[in-house]
Structure 1
Amino acid sequence: MTDELPATGASPTTGTLPADPPEPWTRLVPPPLRPIAARFLPQGALLLAVVTFGSYLMGLVRDVVQARTFGAGAELDAYLAAFAIPEIALGVLVASGLSAPFVPIFLSLRTRDDRAAQEFAGTILTLALLIIGLATPVLWLIAPLTVDFVARGFTPEQRDLYTDLFRLMLVTPVLFALSDVLGEVLVAERRFLGYALAPVLYNAGIVVGMVLFAGAIGIYAGAVGAILGALAHVGIRLLWLRGSSVRFRIALRVRTQAFREFVGLMIPKMASHPIDPLTFTVLGSLASTVAVGGITSLSLARNFQSVPVSVIAVSFALAVFPTLSAAAAAGDRAAFRRILVRNGVTILVLTIAAAIALAVLSRFVIQLFFRGGEFTQEAVERTNLVLVLLAVAIPFESLTHLLSRAIYATRNTLLQVLASVASFAVVVVAANVLTPSIGLAAIPIAFGLGMAVKVGLLVLALVPRIRSIRPAPDLSRPA
């Protein structure tokens, strides 16, 4: 558990960022290439990319087990749809308040008062568990009412199955609420390995559940596996925090400047956080009206398409987020701009190459992993169509992750929210307009259009934010 990197912070005397020491892995690179590798790979990016790729390999194993056990049919559609609303609830009530403001505020507090930073982390953890704990019974009661929103093409039998699976998996948001707070502390401390291993273990839990219990309880084995995976998700992060100086305690210290700023940044994100999961929930619902198995084809294609986005873009954006936050807190505009441009160019080059490769290999990969059992050739062709068109969106979606975190680092969430809302509107309108004429192909095309619009809006929003960067105020004072 010694994967952590030196804490990012500004020099208190100069207000500028110290140079990061070279990472150990750079010793494996030929000496002439080491300066290039150090320049274009932020600290932790390679580690995150490798482990994230491992997570997707485990996710691929999960998809293969699901597809070959249940086929691209009614039961698997119901199972996949049952994840949507609990994930949205977790995002709105908990994750939205963490992904944007937690790291910049936590790091700013730590530069002045470590105890205040720990109290802030404890307060956020307490609120996260309290809020999701109160929401869970409500979600249980409204489960049958959500099916028309998630999959309006379901039969009565699918609706009943969806409701049962939905309720069974309500255990997972509580576990993820705890894990999300732990994960943000790991990111702030650059303990990236413990952070990144959690999704690997989550997917492994689903696979174990399906392999062990599918014969006895059918599709319900996937829900049992999701619970096992969520337990492993939080467990690995608890284990990795043993080496941290942060000691979580139940607390509600809300009369501080830090908490007040956190709430101010959180509220816009709470309003917009459902947009990403809602996008594919709405698209999945539309797909259910186009073809039986449409949700499964979209889900499988999305899983493949998101591999380069997560392995490259999310890894880079997450690794560089603490550094961008520290640069903004120090008022170092030049460093902020340099870090942003360098990583943006690297992400763009790598993801364009990945998109081309994925489009070329799409049919081969789908046939290799899914053809057989209940997964027919028709399902292969349908999934291939969606994946090839989704690949076009990879570079655009990838840039949104870096640009969004850059805006968060300047302690603003509203601008990213407005860009997300506009992008969502483009996706929904385009999908509904195009579906009657071109069918399932309209869904990935609409998604690509939405991502392109979002990139443009984020760039326009970020330019004035960079110009306004100033040293951060002292947040350790009482409100």
Structure 2
Amino acid sequence: MLDWLKHGYVSLLLGNLSSKFLGLLREGLFAAWFGTGDVAAAYRIAQTGYLLPTHGVIGDSLSAGLLPLYKKLQSENQDAARLLVLIASLYGLVFSFVVTVTIYRYSHPFADMIAPGANPQARDIAANLLKVMALSTPFYVLSGMLSYLEAAYGRFGAIAWRPMILNIGSIGGAALAVYFKADHWLATALVISHIFFFLRTAFEIRNLDRLTPERRDIWKQAGRISARFVANMIPLLGLPLIGQANLVVERIVSSWLGTTIIPSVDYAKTIVDTGTQLLAVPLGIVTMATHGGASGEEARAYARRTAGLLMILSFPAAVLIALNAEPIVTLVFARGKFDQEAIASTSAILTTMSAGLGFSLTSYYLIKVLNAQLRNVEAFIITVIAVIVNMAVNLGLWSYLGPQTIGLGAASYGLVLCVLSFVQLGFLREMRRLIFVMIAGITFQMVLTGIAVELLSFPFDLGASVLIAITVWLPFLLVPGPIKETAKPLLQKLPLIRKFM
């Protein structure tokens, strides 16, 4: 029995599917309305600058540092867990104030730092958008914290629906920007979305539990609880710093390659990140919510089984996307202002970036497993190593390989992080049979797909590649072996397949 099918994964998946559909719609509309021009580039630059100090803290440090500790305190003393929330909120408000003021005051230097190679007009638009986006920081920080706390109660609605709400805001902002010919709506609508989500999440948490301790004497433990929270967070603070430094280097290199490359990178990421958002992110959250603080054999078996399922789902998809990058980009984005030059640059990035999809998706989950086991220092060290490799590829090869360098750097990051995570968790030896069979299947799929792509034209090459993937991997699922054994708990949930198991 797959526990994550019972512990909120379905609601997370449904929410992420909805938000992913809206995300693809958003990127499609952006591509049609703005192409890879100055406004498109400026929006990406501003988005990076606004998320630079906040996204990593909420997405990684706060969730991995707060949720397992909150679960542990809940089992010890409910009032201590409530006090932890107040302490974390105070830290979040202080952090938000500093970030908002800094970004608002230094928006132009921020834009210049992130994209020094972009043209002046794009950087000016980005700086103006950044000033508006900075106003949403406190709502972003507090709503992110509260949404992860909701997961501790077995409720995943806020986490599932936040991307959908923000995507709706982004689409509305883009439409208003086009209609009124006023770029500020791209940022203004985003701020409104964050405020709305914060209010919704705050009311939801209030319905689940009171927000203040019942016992007054618990306040005497504020110093000790704060110290535990800080001690748990400190190793994690390096993760967002190194992660955002990696993103900044990627943006800088993209701007050196040309202003149009900046949005092309994000268009490619929209496709590659689909698997991570739909599979690895919700599974990582469920793992931390249900096995936070646990490191016994049951928790290891759970993580090992889930990692194996992610490999089975992601590596065949990586081959399919990498060898069909141009047809996929054409199908998804080629309309309006998204011209042939945009297709070429986005396809070049997608080809190398998607080659590492299986590694990136699996490694994201494995890092969350380390976080759930409170092995945050280990997670930080291996992430630093992977980021250094990514930066080295981007800085060392961009002048030789062009736009493909960005994708190659991302793929290298995923590969290094995945291998080191497997070694650190001790899964490499335990899953060696599955890994060996996966390598054989991937090789076979690559050869057949490569032939089909060479012989057929769009859209028949893409259709043939999908059929090849099904033909190659279906026997592995039906014939006894490590792939069938790993996928069996999931396949038994599917009525049409269960009779063959």
Of 304, 321, 326, which aligns to 1:341?
A: 304
Give the equivalent residue in structure 2 for 1:364: 327
AA in 2 matched with 1:107: K
Partner of 2:357: 394
Query: Shift of residue 207 of structure 1?
Result: 0.8
**For residue 50 of structure 1, what is the aligned residue in structure 2?**
14
- 239 and 393 in structure 1: CA distance in 2 versus 1, 3 angstrom threshold: farther
Looking at structure 1, the residues matched to 221 and 32 of structure 2 have their Cα atoms a distance apart, in angstroms, of 50
Residue in structure 2 matching 1:263, options 230, 235, 238: 230
Kindly report which structure 2 residues correspond to 1:307-386, keeping only aligned pairs within 5 A, or say none. Answer: 307-325=274-292, 327-328=294-295, 333-386=296-349
CA distance 1:118–1:255, shift in 2 (3 Å): closer
Aligned residues of 1:45 and 1:315 also touching (Cα < 8 A): yes
Q: In the TM superposition, what is the alpha-carbon distance from 1:452 to its structure 2 partner?
A: 1.1
CA contact (8 A) 1:290 1:439 kept: yes
Query: Aligned partners of 1:39, 1:120: CA distance in 2, in Å?
Result: 28
**Deviations for 1:35-68, whole angstroms, at most 9, x for unmatched residues?**
5xx4674622232122112111111121122222
Report if the CA contact (8 A) 2:315-2:357 is conserved. Answer: yes
Q: Does the 8 Å contact 2:360/2:413 carry over to 1?
A: no
AA aligned to 1:272 is L
Q: Which amino acid aligns with 1:337?
A: R
Question: Post-superposition shift, 1:391?
Answer: 1.1
Aligned to 2:395: 432
- Distance in 1, matches of 2:343 and 2:57, equals 37
- Structure 2 residue aligned with 1:28: none
Aligned to 1:244: 208
* 2:42 matches 1:75: no
The aligned counterpart of 2:249 is 282
Q: Is the 8 A contact 1:72 1:297 kept in 2?
A: yes
Give the letter for the 2:65 counterpart. Answer: P
Aligned to 2:273: 306
* 1:123 maps to 2:108: no
Q: Does 1:136 align with 2:103?
A: no
**Letter of the structure 2 residue corresponding to residue 414 of structure 1:** V
Give 1:407 shift. Answer: 1.5
Q: Equivalent residue of 2:403, what SS?
A: helix
CA pair 353-242 structure 1, distance change in 2 beyond 3 A: farther
User: In 2, are the aligned partners of 1:95 and 1:177 still within 8 Å (CA)?
Assistant: no
> In terms of mean alpha carbon deviation, does 270-279 or 185-194 score higher?
270-279
**Contact in 2 for aligned 1:128/1:178 (Cα 8 Å):** yes
Equivalent pair of 2:84/2:229 in contact (CA under 8 Å)? no
Deviates more, 1:140-149 or 1:428-437: 140-149
Q: Which structure's residues are more often helix, by fraction?
A: 2
Query: In 2, are the aligned partners of 1:202 and 1:228 still within 8 Å (CA)?
Result: no
SS at match of 1:327: coil
- In 2, the alpha carbon distance for the partners of 1:453 and 1:405 equals 16
Q: Distance in 1 between matches of 2:320 and 2:219?
A: 50
CA distance in 1 between partners of 2:221 and 2:112 (Å): 39
Q: Return closer, same or farther for 1:202/1:40 CA change in 2, 3 Å cut-off.
A: closer
Post-superposition CA distance 1:97-122 (Å, at most 9, x none): 41222111111111121111111112
Look up the equivalent residue of 1:127 and give its one-letter code: Y
> How far 1:381 moved relative to its partner?
2.0
Per the alignment, do residues 254 and 285 of structure 1 end up closer, same or farther by CA in structure 2, a change over 3 Å counting? farther
Alpha-carbon displacement from aligned partner over 1:280-335 (angstroms, at most 9, x marks no partner): 3321221222234101110110111000111111121111222221534xxxx111
Of the three residues 435, 440, 452, the one matched with 2:415 is 452
Residues 61 and 239, structure 2, Cα contact 8 Å, conserved in 1 = no
Deviation string, structure 1 residues 265-289 (Cα, Å, up to 9, x no partner): 2122222213334323321221222
SS state of the match for residue 27, structure 2?
helix
Residue 145 of structure 1, aligned match among 109, 128, 145: 109
| Partner residue, 2:196 | 232
CA distance in 1, matches of 2:392, 2:58: 29
Unaligned ranges ≥5, structure 1: 1-34, 465-479
Tell me, in whole angstroms, the C-alpha distance in 2 between the residues paired with 1:301 and 1:252.
49
Alignment of 1:11-90 (within 5 A): 35=1, 38=2, 41=5, 43-90=7-54
Does 2:184 match 1:220?
Answer: yes
Contact 1:419–1:457 at 8 Å: present in 2 too? yes
SS of the residue corresponding to residue 111 of structure 1 reads helix
Q: Report the AA paired with residue 302 of structure 2.
A: I
Question: Kindly tell me: are residues 342 and 94 of structure 1, through their superposed partners in 2, closer, same or farther at Cα, counting changes over 3 Å?
Answer: closer
Relative to 1, partners in 2 of residues 1:97 and 1:368: Cα closer, same or farther, differing over 3 Å?
A: closer
**Contact 1:123–1:253 (Cα < 8 Å) also in 2:** no
* Structure 2 SS opposite 1:230: helix
CA distance in 1 between partners of 2:121 and 2:412 (Å):
35
* Residues 201-223 of structure 1 deviation map (CA, whole Å, 9 limit, x = unaligned): 01101111222343224322211
Answer yes or no: is the 8 Å Cα contact 2:4–2:286 preserved in 1: no
Distance 1:225 1:196 in 2: 20
The 5 A counterparts of 1:205-216 are: 205-216=169-180
| Identical residues among aligned pairs (%) | 20
Report if the CA contact (8 A) 2:22-2:167 is conserved: yes
**What one-letter code is carried by the residue in structure 2 that aligns with 1:268?**
P
TM-score w.r.t. the length of structure 1 is: 0.83
In the superposition, relative to structure 1, how do residues 257 and 75 fare at CA in structure 2: closer, same or farther (>3 Å)? Answer: same
Deviates more, 1:205-214 or 1:55-64: 205-214
Question: For the structure 1 residues 135 and 296, does the alpha-carbon distance in structure 2 shift closer, same or farther, using more than 3 Å as the test?
Answer: closer
Unaligned runs of 5+ in 2: 428-501
Shift of 1:239: 4.0
CA pair 110-217 structure 1, distance change in 2 beyond 3 A: same
Q: Helix, strand or coil: the match of 1:100?
A: helix
SS in 2 for 1:274: helix
User: In structure 1, what is the equivalent of residue 370 of structure 2?
Assistant: 407
Cα pair distance change 1:232/1:115, threshold 3 Å:
same
Aligned to 1:72, the other structure's residue is in SS state coil
Structure with larger RCO (C-alpha < 8 A, sep 6+) = 1
Contact 2:49 2:111 in 1 (8 A): no
- Contact kept, 8 Å, 1:76 with 1:219, in 2: the verdict is no
